[in-house]
Amino acid sequence: MKHLRPIIIACLLLFSSVLFAQEIASQDTTSEQFAKVHMIASFVKSFDHGLKLTLEEEMRVALESEQPFKRLHTTVSLAYTPIEYLSFSAGYVLKLYGDKDWNDPNKFLRHRVNVDATGQVAIGQWKLSWRERLMLDARTDEVNPLETNKVDYTLRSRLQAVYAIPNQPLSIVAKMEVFNTLNAKYYGQYISELRPEIGLQWKVNKKNTLNLAYRYNYKYDRKITMLDDAYASLTHAYVHKHVMLLTYKFDW
């Protein structure tokens, strides 16, 4: 027991120092609201044995902004459907930011890797699906490790319902997606985004599909700013985005 006492005291001192370092000296709240347009083009190639390769390009533009071009996402993903009701996929996303310092690739380029599992079932004219996506976002620029993660882990849960209008090449698509942070600084896990979406899908022919949708994107973030070695400022940041999505898909 005598040998354990110094270890216990050291652990308590370490724990108390961590708590002290994380003490919040001030709190603030910010709120923003703006409109965006996302334009997406995806090219899908199906193979035997339930394999599907997708190449997707997405451009995000902010309306009424001094810097309209916000992001460009280039995605490559591979999906596998072993049975009709279940599919898995993995993908890589190269993210290019239009509002960062273009003189330094470490600042305007970021990387994302995600793995998905989707369960789906068709009931008459309806097709219902539930997707779980684990997402890793990595940055290569210099950050304060007490304020910002080099890698963020997020779990995205999406419920989707598609109703095929009888005798028409049209479908109504409704979605609800929830984002859960998994490693936020000092907080670990909390719901950071809600994305309800409604849209209309038009199957032009066997190979070409168009989609027009509206998404309300509610985002909440807890931003830590270190004031010194012991105290930090916490900002509760709320963002309300109104997003119009224009999507084109080509099936090879």
pLDDT along the chain (252 residues), means of 10: 47 40 74 95 96 98 87 97 96 93 88 98 97 96 89 97 97 98 86 97 97 97 82 90 98 91
Domain region containing 228: 24-251
Q: How far apart are CA 176 and CA 199, in angstroms?
A: 12
Residues 6+ apart with CB under 8 A from 1: none
d(CA 185, CA 220): 14
Predicted model pTM: 0.86
Residue 161 Cα to chain centre, angstroms: 20
Question: Do 119 and 89 form a contact (C-beta atoms < 8 A)?
Answer: no
Which amino acid would we find at residue 233?
A: S
Structural domain includes residue 2: no
Looking at residue 226, what is its pLDDT? 83
CA 125, distance to chain mean position in Å, is 29
Q: Is residue 179 part of a domain?
A: yes
Domain count, the chain: 1
Residue 209 lies in a domain: yes
Encoding tokens for residue 200? 């209309």
Domain-located, residue 19 = no
**15 falls within a domain:** no
Tell whether 141 is covered by a domain. yes
Whole-number pLDDT of residue 22: 56
Predicted local distance difference test score (pLDDT) of residue 8: 43
Q: Which two tokens stand for residue 118?
A: 């989707």
Q: What is the CATH number of the domain that holds 113?
A: 2.40.160
Report if residue 8 sits inside a domain.
no
136: in domain? yes
Helix/strand/coil percentages in the chain, nearest 5: 10, 70, 20
Dihedral of alpha carbons 10, 11, 16, 22, sign: positive
